[in-house]
Amino acid sequence: MARKLLFRVSPGGRLSGDIRVPGDKSISHRAIMLGSLAEGTTRVSGFLEGDDALATLRAFRAMGVRIEGPEAGRVTIHGVGMHGLQAPEAPLDLGNSGTSMRLLCGLLAGQGFEVTLIGDESLSRRPMKRVTEPLARMGAEINSTPKGTAPLVIRPVDGLRGIDYDMPVASAQVKSCLLLAGLYAEGETRVSEPAPTRDHTERMLRGFGYEVGIDGPQRWVRGGGRLSACDIDVPADISSAAFFLVGASIAEGSDLTLRHVGMNPTRDGVINILRAMGADIEVGNRREVGGEPVADLRVRAAPLRGIRIPEDQVPLAIDEFPALFVAAACAEGETVLTGAEELRVKESDRIQVMADGLQALGVRAEPTPDGIVIQGGPIGGGRVDSHGDHRIAMAFAMAALRADGEILIDDCANVNTSFPGFVELAAGCGLAIGQDDHA
């Protein structure tokens, strides 16, 4: 049996200090992908040395790209050009990383070699038809299990053709997958999103000198272009900052500064939602690095109130709901989330797993098919299962700040997928967290 990591968090405390959380996961993945396909040398700083981004890095190394680092967040990628990737000797193991699998699926659909993508138990359960179906319309040949899940076997085809695709779900992974396939397709590939989703792929493609068109909700690329290497400064991940924004908001006496946080307007839903709940978050020193807005955030404890979360904020805060549910549990009154069925197909079913965990701590939390209803109130101590989902583990760790007993959290090793050093950083700010390995 795999060894499991247990978090043990003592109740109470407050968060204070001045910190920088690790680099943005979405941007780190894309830096490796585009840097590998570019002509020239791409230097990345602030790279996230977490398992997910490292899975992408290893995949490109396995396809013949020379990549130095990471060392203290620095990575140097010697690009091989659009047609320089080589067939890997073995299946590419993408671990827990949905972003790696979905984006690579598009990027590899137009290569001249066969490649197999595999992942861990959680990734092997996640829906891949959302990418394989539109890619098939572009002429790709991709085999999945009958359920539409990984392993995915991608076979070389004569050529891809651009399509005009209306995405049924608001997903940056699907959009990015198709735009990356579109780089290799004949003509234009157009993707319409039902609601705005993170636009790091579009921004970074432009940074590498590739034109990306915007027509209303449509994003499009024309195949056959080239990428020129550039330097990338990866901002701190707002999705990782979110745990600290919530922790400092709910723990009386907290005063915490988070530096160099990515503030892309397609990612800032967590700030909008927390502010609507009454949080005290000051945004200062706004600037732009490499085409991405960043800022320093100062957060102080404040009484929160329950709200009905606006549905248009859902895609803009899609990864932050585990943390936001903890904020809701500490708020006065009821918080209602709707329009968030996508949470059920993340690294875990985040609606069910959070509802189970909150209930185990004595919080009234009722899951609904597309969201949850949470009544704010006291939080007890207890034991919760993160189901190997990094963000669930970190969200419940923050809940201890307001609990009246110790919180034990099972199956926390995957915190390393997005936030290496979480325990040390959180402990340094005042969270009474420790960890135990147990069989």
In this chain, which stretch among 156-164, 167-175, 297-305, 353-361 interacts with ligand S3P, using CB under 6 A?
A: 167-175
What are the tokens at 177?
Answer: 């997958």
Q: What radius of gyration, in Å, describes the C-alpha atoms of the chain?
A: 21
Instruction: Tell me which of 319, 385, 389, 411 is the catalytic residue.
Output: 319
Q: Is 51 known to be catalytic?
A: no
Q: Is 3 exposed, middle or buried (0-12, 13-18, 19+ CB in 10 A)?
A: exposed
Give the residue with the Cβ less far from ligand S3P, 264 or 335: 264
- As a whole number of angstroms, the distance between CA 437 and CA 339 comes to 37
Site size with ligand S3P, rule: CB under 6 A:
10
Q: How far apart are the first and last CA of the chain?
A: 7
* Closest by CA position to 395, among listed 329, 337, 341, 342: 329
Task: Tell me the C-alpha to C-alpha distance, in Å, between residue 96 and each of 55, 170, 414.
Answer: 9, 21, 8
The correct pick among 171, 264, 386, 435 for binding ligand S3P (CB under 6 A) is: 171
* Closest by CA position to 292, among listed 258, 264, 259: 264
Binding of ligand S3P by 313 (CB under 6 A): no
Binding of ligand S3P by 111 (CB under 6 A): no
Other Cβ atoms within 10 Å of 351 Cβ, number: 25
Least spacing, CB of residue 331 vs ligand S3P, in Å: 24
The correct pick among 36, 100, 176, 313 for binding ligand S3P (CB under 6 A) is: 176
* Closest by CA position to 168, among listed 132, 195, 139, 202: 195
In this chain, which stretch among 172-180, 225-233, 297-305, 373-381 interacts with ligand S3P, using CB under 6 A?
A: 172-180
Binding of ligand S3P by 319 (CB under 6 A): yes
- As a whole number of angstroms, the distance between CA 331 and CA 250 comes to 8
DSSP state of 388: T
Q: Which of residues 183-222 bind ligand S3P (CB under 6 A)?
A: 198
Other Cβ atoms within 10 Å of 146 Cβ, number: 5
Least spacing, CB of residue 257 vs ligand S3P, in Å: 25
Residue with tokens 């990338």: 232
Give the residue with the Cβ less far from ligand S3P, 111 or 171: 171
In this chain, which stretch among 139-147, 165-173, 273-281, 371-379 interacts with ligand S3P, using CB under 6 A?
A: 165-173
Give the residue with the Cβ less far from ligand S3P, 294 or 318: 318
Give the residue with the Cβ less far from ligand S3P, 262 or 430: 262
The correct pick among 178, 180, 246, 318 for binding ligand S3P (CB under 6 A) is: 318
How many helices (H) and strands (E) in the chain? 13, 25
Binding of ligand S3P by 242 (CB under 6 A): no
In this chain, which stretch among 111-119, 171-179, 326-334, 349-357 interacts with ligand S3P, using CB under 6 A?
A: 171-179
Task: Tell me the C-alpha to C-alpha distance, in Å, between residue 195 and each of 163, 167, 172, 311, 315.
Answer: 19, 10, 10, 10, 7
What are the tokens at 329?
Answer: 């549990």
Binding of ligand S3P by 411 (CB under 6 A): no
Residue type, 73: G
- DSSP reduced 3-state for 284: strand
- As a whole number of angstroms, the distance between CA 294 and CA 170 comes to 24
* Closest by CA position to 314, among listed 162, 121, 133, 171: 171
* Closest by CA position to 405, among listed 388, 381, 426: 381
The correct pick among 85, 172, 248, 317 for binding ligand S3P (CB under 6 A) is: 172
Binding of ligand S3P by 350 (CB under 6 A): no
User: What is the CB-side half-sphere exposure of residue 90 using CA atoms within 13 A?
Assistant: 7
Give the residue with the Cβ less far from ligand S3P, 39 or 341: 341
One character per residue 45-84, x = contact with ligand S3P (rule: CB under 6 A): ----------------------------------------
Give the residue with the Cβ less far from ligand S3P, 53 or 281: 53
The correct pick among 42, 56, 96, 99 for binding ligand S3P (CB under 6 A) is: 99
Binding of ligand S3P by 26 (CB under 6 A): yes
Binding of ligand S3P by 173 (CB under 6 A): yes
Give the residue with the Cβ less far from ligand S3P, 99 or 132: 99
Task: Catalog residues that contact ligand S3P under the rule CB under 6 A.
Answer: 26, 99, 171-173, 176, 198, 318-319, 342
Which active-site residues does the annotation give? 319
